[in-house]
Structure formats: structure tokens, C-alpha cells
Amino acid sequence: MDLYRHLKGLAWGFVQGTGDEDVFDPAIHLSYVPPERKFTMEELQLVQSETASPIAGTVPFPLLSTEGVKAYRRAMFQQDVLNHCASSPFPGTLVLRDAVRYSKFVRDFWTHPVTLRIVSEAAGIPLEIIMPTEIGHTNIQVKGSTISEMKNNLTTEPTLERVILSPEDREYDPLKDASAIIPWHYDSYPYVCVLMLSETDGMIGGETYIKRGDGTAQKVEGPQIGHAVMLQGGEVEHLAARAKGVKERISTITSYRSRHPTVYDSSFMTNIRPYADLNSLYPEWITYRLRKLNDEITYYLNRVEKEPQFALDLQSLEDLINKQVSYLQQTSRQMIAPGFEKELVERFGKPTYYAAPRIWETVQSYSEFEILAITADDKRLWLPNSVYWMDLQNSIESIRLGKPLGGVFGRRIWGGRRYYMGDELLRQGLNELFLDWLASSGLWKIYCESET
């Protein structure tokens, strides 16, 4: 299938241009130079799994020309985009999502075959965009305490307004200060392209650090304006350092998966469920997942037709079928009922949702932890008839057999204490359900009392 034609033909509800944006032209808006260096999984002492490309990430490389940066900013700062796509998780930060519904330029830039070829070459594997809502997710650091104030402080022309740095700012070290804008984590999707749309001269921070196999950190410099970085974020653990010294910082991110049908797609929606419109997100999610499944099955159907003897390799067929079953199950598990999702996020709050792994580490230090966790699981105090209990038993059996467990924290061999439902829900990236389970066990109450 021609991916470009397919993306063009999808009914994403695009506004076909408002007159306030440019028409994307690779000859004008791109200024691509291949990355001077790529970090391989082997170089970083990381084990390359079946879901991975040999390339873990790249150094920053030129992607947009000066005109391209200005055109992109003009497209993003149209009133239609700002009115429909802007939200603010906290003062001074504006997030734009679903801009492709209102900007033809943004859509055409990211879906153009030239752009897709560039990101694929950088990643070392043919890529395609995850789904429309993950095109051009934009994070904006700008002055203002409300969405309206921040909108008014945006300019289409890149400007460089420096902030006087304190001695503490100049000594900032995200590996020591634990003040990264995004702590150590794996991305929800296998591959990401991060593109910088702001001037960065005088900025301190903004780098990405990749955790090497020996536990040390590999620094990847933050991109300059118009430059991009490719990262296999779903496979390598990394953190994003906080940027200091500039008033404006605008970065835009698009997520990808491998186009090759035999490369497993290890995607999760953990990072986006709390703030996404699930009624819009879920149809996109199930569409792309079923299309991936269809590609996988078609590939193996053609192989069996050409190589009948493949059907006699029962172990390979069993592995193939189990992978597809697991893929469908993961697809379903990520789609928590919108009403229940909203109820849980409102009950515990978004900051708590994202802090769920840290909270789990904390409660394990309580003297009451083991007895409360064992009781909660043995008596099935939480959603006793849910499918997650079968998931828990399957994971426990995998642990017994010495098999690694895959999840939002990568692939790990479990060792040590008993494996609880809390571990299973966090493995699947179901933070809101984990918090609900934690509350039913009594551990949440103790945690809240200890934090006051």
C-alpha cells in the first residue's frame, strides 16, 4: 500500500487550509542533512529485541529550513488551531494536539513521502505514523498563567528572549537534581521524531539522556532551531532535561511504528489517556491496530501460500498466533471505558496518575505492604470478575517459566518478591486502574496519611 496516498485519503476531518498558512513544498521548507552520528543498541550495550531497530537514536540533524520553521509556526498559531487544540497542564506550558485536523501544512509536512523517507533513514527502519492524533504533538513553554495569556504571547516569528540564569541554574544537572522535565521513562510508541521550533542560543538543558546497558547515561544534545532528533523511545529508557535560560521553547513530536509487518509494535496509551478525547482517540487507535494486524496476517498468509512447508513448523505457527493474540489483547486493555477513565482521573488527579510508579515504590517500604497486597489479591477485593485477574495469572506463569515480561518498562525478568496485581497493572501502563486497586487494598489510605 502507498502510505502517502493512504494518509491523504483518511477521513481525519481536516480543514483544507484557511489562507493563513503556506502550502508545504519540500524544496522550500526542508533543509535536510543526515545525522552525523547514530547511537546503536550495541554501542549502548543494550540488548536488541525483536521489536527494535539497531539504531537507538541520533544526534540532532537539520530538517526544516528557516522558511520551513516560520511556515510551521504560522500554521500552528492559526486561530483555528489555537482555539481547538490548546490545553495547559500547568502555568507557563501550552500543549497543542490534533493540529492536523485544522492545518493542512502540518499534515502535509509530516505525511509527505520525502519526510517519511528522512525519518525512516534516520531510524534505520521503514516507519509509518502511528495515528493522526500523534502527528505534531507540540509542547510550548511561554510566559503566561492562563491559556489566553499564553496564546497572546505567541509570535509566528522565532524570537530569542533570554532569562538571567542564577548560579544554581548554571550548575543544573538533571542526573543529580532529579528535576528533569520528564523523568526516566519509555515512550508510549516505538519511535519519535522531536523537532525544535525555537531559538536555543543561551539555553541550558534541553538534552536527552539515554540509559546505557551498564547503567550510565549517554547524553544527546538538544536540537537547535529547525533541527530534529530521532529516538527509539519505546525501546530505550531515557529522560528529557529541563530547559533553562530562554522564555520560549517550542518542540513538536510525531510518533511512529515500523512499517515492516514482522516487527512487533509495542505501543501503549499510558501517557495520553488522561488528557485525550477518548471518543476521538479510540477509533484511531483500533483502526491503526487492526491495520497492523491485517498487514501481519497478510504477510504470513502469502508466505504459507508460497512455502507450504512453513505450515508444518508448528512451533513457529504457535508463536505467530500467540503474538497476534497478545497484540489484540494489549489493544483492548489500553481502551479503558471513557466514563470510568474520567472518574478515576478526576478522583486521583493527573499528577498522581503520572506519579503512579513512584507511589508503588514508596508503598512497598511500608510495614503493612505485604499483608495488605496479599490480602487484596487473594480475596480479589478489586473488580473480582475483571479480565485483569487472568492477565495476572498469565504473568505469574511466565515468571515461573523464567520468561521476560514486556510492558511500558521494557522487557524484564522478574525476580525477588511476589508479583501482585499492582505490578501487573503498571506493567500494562494502566496507572488509573493501579490507583483504584491500591485504594481497594488499603495502601492508598496509608500513603495519603504518610504524605500529610
Q: For the chain, give the number of residues.
A: 452
Q: Give the Cα separation of 122 and 26 in Å (integer).
A: 17
Q: Quick one: DSSP state of residue 99?
A: G
The more confidently predicted of residues 189 and 204 is: 189
* Separation in Å, CA 224 to CA 137, 163, 251, 293, 429: 18, 18, 10, 38, 32
The more confidently predicted of residues 416 and 337 is: 337
Show the cell assigned to 251: 518542540
Q: Give the Cα separation of 249 and 198 in Å (integer).
A: 6
- The CA angle 383-387-393, to the nearest 5 degrees, is 100
CATH code, residues 3-269: 2.60.120
Q: What is the mean pLDDT of the chain?
A: 88
Percent of the chain topping pLDDT 90: 60
Residue 271, φ and ψ in degrees, nearest 5:
-75, -20
Residue pair 196/251 in contact (Cβ under 8 Å)? The answer is: yes
Element holding 384 (H helix, E strand): none
Q: Give the Cα separation of 290 and 189 in Å (integer).
A: 16
pLDDT score, position 341: 96
Element holding 192 (H helix, E strand): strand 191-196
Which whole number is the average pLDDT over 153-160? 82
Residue with cell 526544516: 64
pLDDT score, position 156: 84
CA 139 and chain centroid, separation: 13
Q: Give the Cα separation of 292 and 289 in Å (integer).
A: 5
DSSP 131-188: -GGGSSEEEEE-S-SSHHHHHHT--SS----B-PPPHHHHT--HHHH---SEEEE--S
* Pairing assessment for the beta strands 191-196 and 55-58 based on DSSP bridges: unpaired
Torsion of Cα atoms, 31 then 37 then 41 then 45, to 10°: -150
**Residue partners of 225: CB distance under 8 A and separation at least 6:** 69, 158, 196, 197, 198, 199, 200
Residue pair 324/296 in contact (Cβ under 8 Å)? The answer is: yes
Q: Give the Cα separation of 52 and 287 in Å (integer).
A: 23
β partners of residue 250 = 140
pLDDT score, position 51: 61
Torsion of Cα atoms, 380 then 344 then 412 then 42, to 10°: 170
pLDDT tens digits along 222-253: 899 999 999 998 888 888 877 777 778 889 99
pLDDT tens digits along 263-275: 778 899 998 899 8
Which whole number is the average pLDDT over 51-65? 91
**Residue partners of 267: CB distance under 8 A and separation at least 6:** 130, 188, 189, 190, 234, 257
The more confidently predicted of residues 52 and 156 is: 156
Show the cell assigned to 101: 485536523
pLDDT score, position 243: 75
Cα Dmax for the chain: 70
Q: Find the range with the poorest average confidence among 40-54, 61-75, 90-104, 170-184.
A: 170-184
The more confidently predicted of residues 88 and 113 is: 113
Residue 231, φ and ψ in degrees, nearest 5:
-140, 135
Residue with cell 512453513: 310
Asked if pLDDT for residue 9 goes beyond 70, the answer is no
pLDDT tens digits along 292-349: 999 999 999 999 999 988 888 888 888 889 889 999 999 999 999 999 999 999 999 9
pLDDT score, position 169: 67
Residue 355, φ and ψ in degrees, nearest 5:
-90, 5
**Residue 321 half-sphere exposure toward CB, CA atoms < 13 A:** 7
* pLDDT band for position 88 (cuts 50, 70, 90): confident
Q: Find the range with the poorest average confidence among 14-18, 219-223, 244-248, 251-255.
A: 14-18
Asked if pLDDT for residue 150 goes beyond 90, the answer is no
Asked if pLDDT for residue 48 goes beyond 90, the answer is no
**Residue partners of 47: CB distance under 8 A and separation at least 6:** 41, 213
Which whole number is the average pLDDT over 41-63? 88
* Separation in Å, CA 412 to CA 259, 287, 398: 26, 29, 11
pLDDT score, position 127: 94
pLDDT tens digits along 157-190: 887 776 777 777 677 676 776 555 567 788 889 9
Q: Give the Cα separation of 175 and 173 in Å (integer).
A: 5
Asked if pLDDT for residue 290 goes beyond 70, the answer is yes
